[in-house]
Amino acid sequence: MKRVKAIGVSGLAAAAPALPLQAANPAAEECARLLAQVEPRIKAICETDEFHLRSFDAAWLPDGPGYMLLDPPGGAAGAEIVCYDCASGRRTVVVAGEKLVVPGSGERLGVHGFVCSPTGKRFLLHTDGAGGSDRWLYEPESSDLRPVKAGDGVEFDAQPFSPDERHLLGSRGADLVAYDIAGGRTIPLTKDGDPDTIDNGRATWSPDGKWIAYVQSDSSAIPKRQVLVPGDPTYRTFRETRYERIGGPIPTLRIGVVGVEGGPTRWIELADKAGTFYLNPLGWAGNSDEVLIDKLSRGRDAREVLLADHRTGTITKAYAATDPAWVVSWVDMEGGGLQWLPGSQSFILFSEKDGWRRAYVVSRDGSSPRPVTPAGSDLIAPGRVDDKRGWYYYYASPDNATQRYLFRARLDGSGAPERLTPTDQPGSHSYAFSPCGQWAFHTWSTFDKPPVTDLVELPAHRSVRVLEDNAAAAARAKPLITRPTEFLQLDIGGGVVMDAWMIKPRDFDPARKYPVFVFVYGEPADQTVLDDWRGGQGHTLFHRAVADLGYLVVSIDNRGTPGPKGAAWRKAVFGSLGPLSTDEQAAGLKALARLRPFVDLSRVGIWGWSGGGSNTLNALFRKPDDYHVGIAVVPKPQPQYYNAEYQEIFMRTPEENPEGYRTCAPINYAGGLRGDLLIITGSGETNTHVEITEGLVDRLIELGKRFDYFAYPNRDHGLSEGKGTTAHVLMLITRHLIEHLPPGPR
């Protein structure tokens, strides 16, 4: 890894002159020793299954208190679909292995997945290709087994069965198709799809199974950029891909409804100008005539819920909202909580109109939205609607923004909400509910405890049996977790209290001072301070390995991150992503040192990925007295070149907000660099393009700044392509840290 300094050459670092042989360098020897110590641990994390987590993969019976799964799993020949009764655990065979024999031969199908139809009368089996087909339909009642010969290139949706179970919904390239189960026909539903410009997708069945509503996206106005195709190193070739840059064209969307037998599409004529709005997933308004549409303005500062009758063309506005920042926050982008209430004339959605994310029931005529979840606290995510008993299940954590619990509230808004997750299970919880709502697969983890999944009976939350305990991963992780991770609250004044966690070294001595290594994200798309096993965006095991070298590894969630702390917390960054997070992260460090005297503020490093990479740059450029070493992974130093769908929510466009873009761009503050900076990117980036990063590299060279730069050939935003890449990235980060911020207490 070469040091780069401006020397008047065209983008190249001059080779250092040969140096005479010198005596052994103790610092280099110590660095090599520490790297040799940590490398096996990092490789175990990245390149083996030692810490691999198993998830419980099962499907609920559509009409009973049981669940189905493959036994044995994973596509083994002879696998069968079995059912377990929730209460008793009794095992019954639903699809016997001996029934899955290719007709006319003795060849058994190897099943690696299945989808059950709405009544359980049919199964779509994903198989190993025996008998000339990798998809088969099986009917347990008649033992009928037949191949699905839908044609080349047809892929089926995750839940493909029509409500009447007569068809399967799928796609061929950019077009939609339906497969007629009885006739074995593949029916083209659209014919104008084009891989480069027109995509027909996001389809949903009508309740009667006779219609399909879908979104057509036209990207023809979006400019293309060239991407290198790895191959001949001398005569390079490129492919072109479209990129929706801030301020430029976005896809034009329109909604169509087509019959299950194909034919002309009925287009729903929205009044908006093409290319000025986004659409959340479509639904149906409790009938097969009206499409439920959730439309968002380009800046996400306006939202409308529409009911569109595809037979008459009539469009009714059922709900409208605006907000100076955004109506629907980033974490709500997929759906905004919109769901039609079965058997009613109303729907449920999320709104932050009173400063908190709450669920509301709204009548189809838009009259008097009724709050369901309580005032003064945020709903984190929806759970399920129990319309028969009048309950709305949802996730929240009113007292701790790092955790997540299951609650329920009355749909009519009466009474107080009930917490169903036991109070003696702190951490983060998720639930996969049975259709009847009496049972759920419950997964619980904490920052220091891998996930465990059990079967629970609701609402009492009675644990019936453990389904997956991840015992092997937990046993391997236990020796690495020598002391509990400390969660803290950092008061930086002005009523701002931020959540943080801190991992201490194995041989920690509170009487001494330790260097600090901060992991930052700090943008609206994610929290890093979460009390779950993935806390820290999945880097926890790496952070533990770094901590054991002799660092305090810390992460802080500033305002603007999507924690359940109210709309004002989340929208504090509106207008400019970067300045506020940089100020609050630095203030948080000082608050941490006041609380914990073993924190050494004279030795601070910071690293982050994507938006966290940008915040790393801002930390070193704007706060050089506070941060001494930084590693910015795939950052966006020139945000005006980033993608429109994300950045425009929080900053609009440079034409609308020139000052916001100026003040948020790390490249404009590169002159402040005094610490030791490493920039890591991939030359195959499709998100924060390498050219955006190279603009910063050129600026730093122009300014005569010393820094390190590493570009992984043909790797994308996750830097995961190619054998050994992930471990190499983490070792590169570790090496830069050790070389420039040696570990250990003083």
Question: Per-residue pLDDT tens for 36-87?
Answer: 999 999 999 999 989 999 999 999 999 889 999 999 865 556 789 999 999 9
* pLDDT, position 21: 52
Residue 497 near residue 491, CB atoms below 8 Å? yes
Interatomic CA distance for residues 451 and 447, integer angstroms = 10
Cis peptide before 72 (omega within 30 of 0): yes
Q: What is the mean pLDDT of residues 648-664?
A: 97
DSSP string, 340-367: EPTTSSEEEEEE-TTSS-EEEEEETT--
Q: For residue 121, give both structure tokens.
A: 């009368």
Nearest to 168 by CA among 191, 151, 152, 187: 187
pTM: 0.94
**Confidence tier at 734 by pLDDT (50, 70, 90):** very high
What tens digit of pLDDT does each residue of 115-167 get?
Answer: 999 999 999 999 988 889 999 999 999 999 999 999 999 999 999 999 999 99
CA distance 166 to 186: 12
* Cα–Cα distance, 48 to 39 (Å, whole number): 13
Mean pLDDT, residues 442-455 taken together = 98
pLDDT at 63: 86
Quick one: average pLDDT of 578-588?
98
pLDDT for residue 5: 38
Domain ranges of the chain: 485-740
Q: Would the pLDDT of 3 be above 50? A: no
- When comparing pLDDT for 330 and 455, which is higher? 455
- How far, in Å, CA of 504 to CA of 500, rounded? 13
Superfamily of domain 485-740: Alpha/Beta hydrolase fold, catalytic domain (3.40.50.1820)
Is residue 733 predicted with pLDDT exceeding 60? yes
> How far is C-alpha 15 from the chain's CA centre?
42
Q: Is the pLDDT of residue 209 over 50?
A: yes
- Cβ contacts of 649 within 8 Å, gap of 6 or more: 299, 300, 326, 330, 524
* Most distant CA pair in the chain, distance: 87
Name the residue with higher pLDDT: 566 or 107. 566
> Rounded CA gap, 402 and 528, in Å?
9
| H or E stretch at 201 | strand 198-205
Q: Is the pLDDT of residue 385 over 80?
A: yes
pLDDT digits (tens, 9 = 90+) for 611-623: 999 999 999 999 9
Q: How far is CA 336 from the centre of its chain?
A: 15
SS3 content of the chain, % helix, strand, coil (to 5): 20, 35, 45
Burial of 353 (0-12, 13-18, 19+ CB in 10 A): middle
Alpha-carbon distances, residue 651 vs 170, 246, 663 (angstroms): 37, 10, 11
pLDDT band at 10 (very low <50, low <70, confident <90, very high): very low
Q: In what order do the strands lie in the sheet with 198-205?
A: 198-205, 211-218, 252-259, 262-268
In this prediction, residues 556-579 reach a mean pLDDT of 97
Task: Spell out the residues 6+ positions from residue 517 whose beta carbon is closer than 8 angstroms to its own.
Answer: 543, 546, 547, 551, 552, 553, 554, 605, 606, 607, 737, 741
Using one digit for the tens of pLDDT, what is the confidence trace for 390-414? Answer: 999 999 999 999 999 999 999 999 9
Instruction: Using the predicted structure, report yes or no on whether residue 646 has a pLDDT greater than 60.
Output: yes
Across all residues in the chain, what is the average pLDDT?
94
pLDDT of residue 505: 98
- Mean pLDDT (whole number) for 472-476: 96
Q: What pLDDT score was predicted for residue 535?
A: 85
| Residue 7 confidence (pLDDT) | 34
Virtual CA dihedral for 40, 41, 46, 49, nearest 10 degrees? 100
Is the confidence at residue 23, as pLDDT, over 60? Answer: no
Q: Which two tokens stand for residue 502?
A: 């801190």
The one-letter amino acid at 353: K
615 to 136, 344, 619, 625, 630: CA distances (angstroms): 50, 47, 6, 16, 10
